[in-house]
Structure formats: C-alpha cells, structure tokens
Amino acid sequence: MVPEFLSFSISLAVAVKKGEMQDEGIVRKKVLLAGLRRSGKTSIQRVVFTGMPAKDTLGLNCACTACTISHPRSSFVGLQLWDIPGHANLDLLGIDLSQLSTLVFVIDAQDDYTRAVTQLLQIIIRAYNANKHVNIEIFVHKVDGLSDEYKLDTLRDIKSRVLDGLSDEEVVQGASQGAVQPQLSYHLTSIYDHSILDAFSQVVQKLARQLPVIQNLLNVFCSNSGIAKAFIFEQNSRLYFATDSTIADASTFEVCVDALDTFDKFSRLYRWEGDTVEKLEGEGGEESSPAQPATASIRLANDLTIAKWQMHQNLILIALIRSDTYDRFKQSIDYNVTFVRDAIVDIVEMERRGMRR
C-alpha cells in the first residue's frame, strides 16, 4: 500500500522564454481570448476567473475596449488573460502575437459560424507565423441546449473547414513543406456546466512546466492507494492543474467539482482553530482561501467516496475512491497523501521562485 516514490529533480529554465512576459516581477504567460462579438469571451473570462454565476453574463455589456486579467499571484501558473472585443484590430491594440503562449478562439456553436471560421483561420496563421510554439485552443462554445449528435456534427464540420482552410493557405510557412503544423485542440464548451472549467484547465495545464512530474506522482499515488481518479484543483478558480492518466468521463469531473464546492461551503460554516488559519491568512495576502480542515470526505449513494486533502495554500487534492476501500485503508491513504503533499509543496515553491525573476 505504501508507495515508493522515486526521488526526482526538477530544473527550471531561467531565461524568459517566448510567450512569457513579466509584470510586477512575475513572469506571466499570455493567453489571448479571441472570437467574434458575442461569441462568449467575456462570459468565459468572468465565469472562470471571477466566479460570476453563468446567468449573470446575460447582462454583460458589449465591451468596446480590451481588458486584461492577471491570475492571482498564488497561482500555480502565472497567467495573463487578454479579452479583446470581437471587432478589435490586433495591431491597433498593440498586441504582439509573438509574445503569446496560447490563443483561445471562441466560436458560438448556436450561430452561423462561417464568419467565425474565416476569422479563426486568419488569426491562426498570424499567431503561428509569429510563434511556432503557440498553443491554439478552439472552443466550440454555447453547446448547452444542443443534442449530443448535433454537437459532434458541429465539431466535425468546424474541424474539417479549418483543416481545409489551412491546407489551402500557403501563408503557414513551413507547413507546406510538411515541416511543422499549427497544433490545434478543440473543446466543446458551455458556461452553464463544468465543460468550460474542464477545457480551461486543459489550456492552463499545457503551460505548467512541471505537469508530467505531477501526473506521474498522481499515477503512483492512485495505483498504490486504490484510488479511481484524482485531481489537483486550484481552489479559487476551480481549475485543475493535474490529474492521473486514467480516462474518466465528463460526469466524474462534474461530481468532483460539485464536491469541491460542497467542501468549500461547509468549511465556511466552521471556524478552523490552529495553525492553518494563521498560515492561510499570513501567506495568502490578497486572495487567501477560507480556513478549512486539511481533510474531509463525502460518501456518494453509489458506494463511492470523494475525499479531499489540502495540499498547499490554494491547492486541493480530490480523489474518487470506492467507499469500502476508503473505510478500510483510510490511514494508509492519508499516509500516502503526505508524500504527494510534500512533493507538491516542493514543486509549487520551485515554480513560484521560477515565476519571480
């Protein structure tokens, strides 16, 4: 039951790489949210990063200016998110695409997307030619209310239009010689369910340098502790930074996010005495999370238990496990968690030192 963790060493690159930028002494990765007007960019940004309830986005005004939002300092990945109006001219806004780590393009799937695909092709070519390593993430958005079949047809249609469009383009330098191709990832998203969190988590994970290390750690932890699925969530944003490599369906993720919310709500009902409070308040500064116990669990009706452990200031380990395994081996699992926690704390501290240069 007790895992044997291999010791691992991590080296961080010291120079500021392409696609990174510094502000307030923190290196942040730039993520540009692009797409036609009213495709849902601002709603995504508000729901994911400020916790705005999805229905409140109905009242969002059409922003005519670009805005940036910096992910909290305590985050695992330093992010700067650019939300630009649909009609904006990138050159006039002074956005240097070579500085971009990720381009997120939002397409409204409930609308005619012909014009959106044309704009997407233009921006892919520009972003790719400016930085061959840019991650391009395409959100086929507002899929709530669409049948599963219609969703998949729409996704297939958009993919084929984009591929056709790109193969017709001579402008993607190098691609025609069969060298490098822009790497495109597609996500079906909606702000009315957890798909937007899942998609944005995957976007952010690609920017985390230590992801493979944490993933390996979780794989070892799960296989040695009888755990079906584990996620490391950032509590404030509810984005997950890593999960083990077991394939899980969307409902597993949903149930884990719901549990995270429930733990959070319950923890607000109680005052947690002791070191934890002082530590959280002292370290967190601007965005310290509410004080809460280091561990808690919820038993679901289908003989499964969801357990959580506080890993670091704002990072939570959530694990889905059979209830009988949890009851029998709780102490061993808690013991294994201490290995994961120590490793995560080391990695996070190292990442933060890497961010502050």
Q: Which residues bind ligand GDP (CB under 6 A)?
A: 35, 37-43, 57-58, 60, 62, 86, 141-142, 144, 190-192
Minimum CB distance to ligand GDP, residue 258 (Å): 18
Question: By CB under 5 A, which span of 33-41, 117-125, 129-137, 220-228 interacts with Mg ion?
Answer: 33-41
Of 144 and 334, nearer to ligand GDP (C-beta) is 144
Minimum CB distance to Mg ion, residue 67 (Å): 8
User: How far, rounded to the nearest angstrom, does the alpha carbon of residue 105 sit from its chain's CA centroid?
Assistant: 15
Nearest to 99 by CA among 30, 14, 181, 34: 30
Of 45 and 313, nearer to ligand GDP (C-beta) is 45
Minimum CB distance to ligand GDP, residue 66 (Å): 11
Minimum CB distance to ligand GDP, residue 152 (Å): 17
Of 37 and 265, nearer to ligand GDP (C-beta) is 37
Dihedral, CA of residue 48, residue 49, residue 52 and residue 57, to nearest 10: -70
Contact present, 281 and 288 (Cβ < 8 Å): yes
341 binds, among ligand GDP, Mg ion, none (CB under 5 to 8 A by kind): none
Does 63 contact Mg ion by CB under 5 A? yes
Of 26 and 66, nearer to ligand GDP (C-beta) is 66
Minimum CB distance to Mg ion, residue 134 (Å): 22
Contact present, 232 and 317 (Cβ < 8 Å): yes
Contact present, 314 and 236 (Cβ < 8 Å): yes
Q: Which residue has the tokens 């005619």?
A: 112
Minimum CB distance to ligand GDP, residue 193 (Å): 8
Contact present, 90 and 66 (Cβ < 8 Å): no
Q: DSSP alpha helices (H): ranges in 270-322?
A: 275-284
194 binds, among ligand GDP, Mg ion, none (CB under 5 to 8 A by kind): none
Q: What share of the chain is helix, strand, coil (3-state, %, to 5)?
A: 45, 20, 35
Of 42 and 135, nearer to Mg ion (C-beta) is 42
| The binder of Mg ion chosen from 39, 42, 102, 205 (CB under 5 A) | 42
Please give the structure tokens belonging to residue 180.
Answer: 């490098």
What crossing angle do the helices spanning 323-355 and 211-225 adopt, rounded to 10°?
Answer: 160
Does 39 contact Mg ion by CB under 5 A? no
Q: Which residues in this chain contact Mg ion in the complex, by CB under 5 A?
A: 41-42, 63
